Amino acid sequence: MDSLVEEAAAGSNSAWHKIVELLGPSIRGFARARGVSEPDELTQDVFLDAARSIGGFHGDWAGFRSWIFTIAYRRIADHHRRNARRPRLIFDDSAALRMPGGPRPEEEAVQRETIDELLAALHNLNQIERDVVLLRIIADLSSDEVAAVVGKSPGNVRVIQNRALSRMRKNLEKTCNELHHSTIAPVT
């Protein structure tokens, strides 16, 4: 795997092919979960950023994964900051922005709904807690790798993660209990 990074830095198409295959789905998944409206485009931007800077990267495959998710993390932050201060387009340009081969709008809508339902479990977490949880689950990064991505100490990340998961567990249990009680209606 380490040689993959070296080959990519030398401009090898096959090395980048493998990297996109291995990391692209997780980057796009993280972008989706963070509410990016065009996750394919953001993923492409992340790889272009990485390609521009890979000459200055020194490290192994694990370091490369952290590095590329750091780029994604910053890109996503930029995306939300930009969207927060710009008015939304009033026409639907999703078809024009969609990558070839990507899901159709109706498939995207169903998928989005499912993702939103799953993400509801994160509703009472703050942003850094959400990021830590999503990077652990979706990007499959270790606590140390997440710490490198979000710019905090590994110990701090573990505390954030533990608090977040504890709160989420309570939320999920509460939701399940409510569902259970609502489906077993008392006989009157």
- Site residues (CB under 8 A) for other proteins, limited to 105-164: 107, 111, 114-115, 118-119, 121, 126-128, 136-138, 140, 142-144, 152, 158-159, 161-164
Nearer to other proteins by C-beta: 175 or 185? 175
Nearer to other proteins by C-beta: 108 or 186? 108
What does each C-alpha distance from 15 to 9, 21, 22 come to in angstroms? 9, 10, 11
**The only residue of 4, 24, 62, 63 in contact with other proteins, by rule CB under 8 A:** 24
Give, rounded to a whole angstrom, the gap between the first and last alpha carbons of the chain.
65
Is the CB of residue 79 less than 8 Å from the CB of residue 36?
yes
Please count the CA atoms within 13 angstroms of the CA of 100 that sit on its side-chain side: 0
- What backbone phi and psi angles, to 5 degrees, belong to 85? -110, 5
| Contact letters for other proteins, residues 72-111 (x by CB under 8 A) | -----xx--xx----------------xxxxx---x---x
- Residue 60: CB minimum distance to other proteins, A: 18
